[in-house]
Amino acid sequence: MLRKTVLNTAHRALGARMVDFGGWDMPVNYGSQIEEHHAVRNNCGMFDVSHMCPVDLAGPDCRPFLSRLVANDVAKLTVSGKALYSAMLNEAGGVIDDLIIYFLTDTRFRIVINAGTADKDLAWMHAKAAEWKMDVSIAQRRTGENSLAIIAVQGPNARARVWDILPQAKAAIADLKPFFAAEVGQYFIASTGYTGEDGYEIMLPTDEAEALWNKLKDAGVAPCGLGARDTLRLEAGMNLYGQDMDETVSPLDAGLAWTVAMKDEREFVGKPALTATGQQKAFLGLILLDKGVLRGHQQVITKHGIGEITSGSFSPTLQQSIALARLPLGVQVGDEVEVDIRGKLLKARVTKPVFARNGKAVI
Amino acid sequence: MSYVPDNLRYAPSHEWLLLDADGIITVGITDHAQEALGDLVFIELPDVGGHYVAEKEIAVVESVKAAADVYAPISGIVTEVNQAAADAPETVNQDAYATWLFKLKPDNVADINNMLDATAYRGLADVA
């Protein structure tokens, strides 16, 4: 039995093609994935991401708990509303999940974790809080009483559309810098996203989600499925958990070194393993020079050895196939490599792992 | 519900077939197939002159979402491929029946009688 978000009937009414996404019945597109992609890059689109799981932390030990729990350092969170992207590691230094932590007060933080990993993440958090004897409560907000839906409104015109629909929130959210959040009554509105565009992620009480979705649709915001979400995040060079990294992969080998605060004295789960192992692979982008489509798990042949594509697709912005790949150390941006696609070796160029953001190609 | 023209034959793997007067069979993918795949961005066509066996891979169609094999509906030699389709894969999404992929000279032209007719193809659980 597939799980459904509160917007399931709204998606079906819009003629969405639904797929099983990690046990959730979710829209992959509402017609053309490519048109939805362009709507976000050039105008404004919205995604139902209510399958993702908000988790509220409360109590005096929020900071010391998070300081040990995740690889990035919550000491960077000094201003209320500031958000921090981080990996949560196991003892071996593998990635249990990637998540966003929002700092509200020293006794109140909100975390958003991935849909498919939510149950194991919560079990891990509870176990660690007990092991470390932390005075912190951990409450998921995806189901049950007080559950929240999440609608991501993304694109260059996203902010203006949201201000039109939620005028009472405008004062609080109009000047949010990227990666901040504001609480407006029951609404939690963050300037975060997964597309490489400006916009908001709006968490709100489940029973108000369909009304907001319909108002946004009536205002011309394009409903977009998880298909466009995937090509947008790939162009933006953002990792997808389960493809670009998982529990067997070090964040240092997944292009996430910038999120791992190794240098100070702080201890966190996985740090000894990362210190011992260091970076073993380069995480870079590929652009296919021949015709075809790069996909996950294809082998990449380089003069330094064999690598592997972790995510690949067709880039609607570049009109070429692009990929993220884990490659042998020594491979450099600009190198030409070969990719094995169904037994044929096709030429690709190594790039930085970011292709398009803010409406434009950056390659 | 996808469109299934009455004048064509169909393979359960979602290819359509049209038998021409000269005994050559034109093949494409069905409207249902293009709709399931989503926006097509790449088509790999078979080799002209190559002999392909029924129910084996003969071509590949790739959408933004996924790659899918196209199967030879019946055994035969490829006589022609539609390069225009490979150059503009979105034309398959626009009209899957106007945009053929390849033509086959069948080993045994009577094999087409084993293919589904429109009613039978509409009856497949995943097409209806």
Put simply, the answer to whether A33 touches B42 (Cβ < 8 Å) is no
Token representation of residue B78: 């490829």
pLDDT confidence tier of residue B128, bands split at 50, 70 and 90: low
Average model confidence (pLDDT) for chain A? 97
The 10s digit of each residue's pLDDT in A319-344 is 999 999 999 999 999 999 999 999 99
pLDDT over 70 percentage in chain A? 100
- A137-164 average pLDDT score: 98
- For residue A11, which of A43, A46, A39 has the smallest C-alpha distance? A46
- A275-284 average pLDDT score: 98
Q: Closest Cα of chain B to A357: distance in Å?
A: 19
Put simply, the answer to whether B64 touches A321 (Cβ < 8 Å) is no
Mutate to test the interface with B, among A19, A21, A34 (most CBs of B within 10 A): A34
Q: Closest Cα of chain A to B23: distance in Å?
A: 32
Q: Chain A: residue nearest B93 by CA?
A: A32
Rounded to the nearest 10 degrees, how much is the dihedral formed by the CA atoms of A342, A348, A351, A357?
A: -70
Q: Is the pLDDT of residue B54 over 70?
A: yes
Average model confidence (pLDDT) for chain B? 95
DSSP A99-161: EEEEEEETTEEEEEE-TTTHHHHHHHHHHHHHHTT---EEEE-SSSTT-EEEEEEESTTHHHH
Q: Closest Cα of chain B to A313: distance in Å?
A: 6
Amino acid type, A266: R
CA–CA separation, A158 vs A69, rounded Å? Answer: 33
Put simply, the answer to whether A227 touches B41 (Cβ < 8 Å) is no
CB A156 within 8 A of CB A49: no
Can you tell me whether residue A303 is helix, strand or coil?
coil
Mutate to test the interface with B, among A30, A288, A289, A313 (most CBs of B within 10 A): A313
pLDDT confidence tier of residue A1, bands split at 50, 70 and 90: confident
The 10s digit of each residue's pLDDT in A226-269 is 999 999 999 999 999 999 999 999 999 999 999 999 988 999 99
Q: Closest Cα of chain A to B65: distance in Å?
A: 7
DSSP B82-95: -HHHHH-THHHHH-
Residues of B in contact with A297 (CB under 8 A): none
Token representation of residue B104: 């086959």
The CATH architecture assigned to A8-51+144-235 reads 2-Layer Sandwich (3.30)
The CATH architecture assigned to A53-140 reads 2-Layer Sandwich (3.30)
The partner residue sitting opposite B39, judged by closest CB among A32, A291, A292, is: A32
Give bridge partners of residue A60 from the DSSP assignment. Answer: none
Put simply, the answer to whether A33 touches B67 (Cβ < 8 Å) is no
Q: Which of residues 308-327 of A touch B (CB under 8 A)?
A: 313-314, 316, 321
Token representation of residue A262: 């190794």
Residues 6+ apart with CB under 8 A from A54: A110, A111, A112, A140, A141, A142, A148, A150, A188, A203
Amino acid type, A271: K
Q: Chain B: residue nearest A230 by CA?
A: B65
CA–CA separation, B34 vs A29, rounded Å? Answer: 13
Phi, psi (degrees; rounded to nearest 5) at A58: -145, 150
Residues of B in contact with A28 (CB under 8 A): 38, 65
Q: Closest Cα of chain A to B20: distance in Å?
A: 31
Phi, psi (degrees; rounded to nearest 5) at A200: -130, 150
Q: What is the pTM of this model?
A: 0.95
Given CA atoms A229, B67, A353, A262 in this order, what sign does their dihedral have? positive
Put simply, the answer to whether B64 touches A314 (Cβ < 8 Å) is yes
Token representation of residue B65: 């979402």
CA–CA separation, B26 vs B78, rounded Å? Answer: 10
Helices (H) and strands (E) in chain B, counts: 4, 9
Q: Is the pLDDT of residue B127 over 80?
A: no
Phi, psi (degrees; rounded to nearest 5) at B87: -75, -25
The backbone region for B112, taken as left when phi is positive above 0, alpha when psi lies in -120 to 50, beta otherwise, is alpha
CB B66 within 8 A of CB B34: no
The 10s digit of each residue's pLDDT in A176-203 is 999 999 999 999 999 999 999 999 999 9
Angle between helices A209-218 and A158-165 (to 10 degrees): 120
CA–CA separation, A247 vs A269, rounded Å? Answer: 13
Token representation of residue A283: 């995480």
Residue A271: Cβ within 10 Å count: 18
CB A298 within 8 A of CB A338: no
**pLDDT reported for residue A295:** 97
Domain ranges of chain A: 8-51+144-235, 53-140, 280-361
CB A32 within 8 A of CB A25: no
- For residue A250, which of A277, A284, A286 has the smallest C-alpha distance? A277
**CATH classification code of A280-361:** 2.40.30.110
Q: Chain B: residue nearest A320 by CA?
A: B41
CB A232 within 8 A of CB A40: yes
pLDDT confidence tier of residue B1, bands split at 50, 70 and 90: low
CA–CA separation, A90 vs A96, rounded Å? Answer: 6
The 10s digit of each residue's pLDDT in B79-121 is 999 999 999 999 999 999 999 999 999 999 999 999 999 999 9
Residues 6+ apart with CB under 8 A from A276: none
Adjacency order of strands within the sheet including B25-29: B9-10, B15-19, B25-29, B102-106, B76-81, B51-52
